[in-house]
Amino acid sequence: MKRPKVTCGAIIRKKEKVLLIKRNTSPYKNYWSLPGGYVEKGEEVKRAIIREVKEETGLDFRPTFWKYWDEIIPQLKWHAVVLIFTGSADGRLNPDRKEVKEVRWFSRKTIEKLRLAFLHKEILKDYFHESKI
> Which residues have a catalytic role annotated?
102
pLDDT for the residue 133: 65
pLDDT for the residue 131: 86
| The residue type at 70 | D
pLDDT for the residue 132: 73
Average pLDDT (25-53) is 97
- CATH number, position 25: 3.90.79.10
The rounded mean pLDDT for the chain is 95
Examine the pLDDT at 65 and tell me if it is beyond 80.
Answer: yes
pTM, two decimals, is 0.95
Examine the pLDDT at 41 and tell me if it is beyond 80.
Answer: yes
Q: How confident is the model at residue 30 (pLDDT cuts 50, 70, 90)?
A: very high
Examine the pLDDT at 1 and tell me if it is beyond 70.
Answer: no
Contact call for residues 119 and 73 (beta carbons, < 8 A): yes
Domain that holds residue 88: 5-131
Preceding omega of 95 cis (within 30 degrees of 0)? no
For the beta carbon of residue 13, count every other beta carbon within 10 angstroms: 17
pLDDT for the residue 113: 96
In the chain, the number of structural domains is 1
Average pLDDT (32-55) is 97
Alpha helices for 58-119 (secondary structure H): 108-111
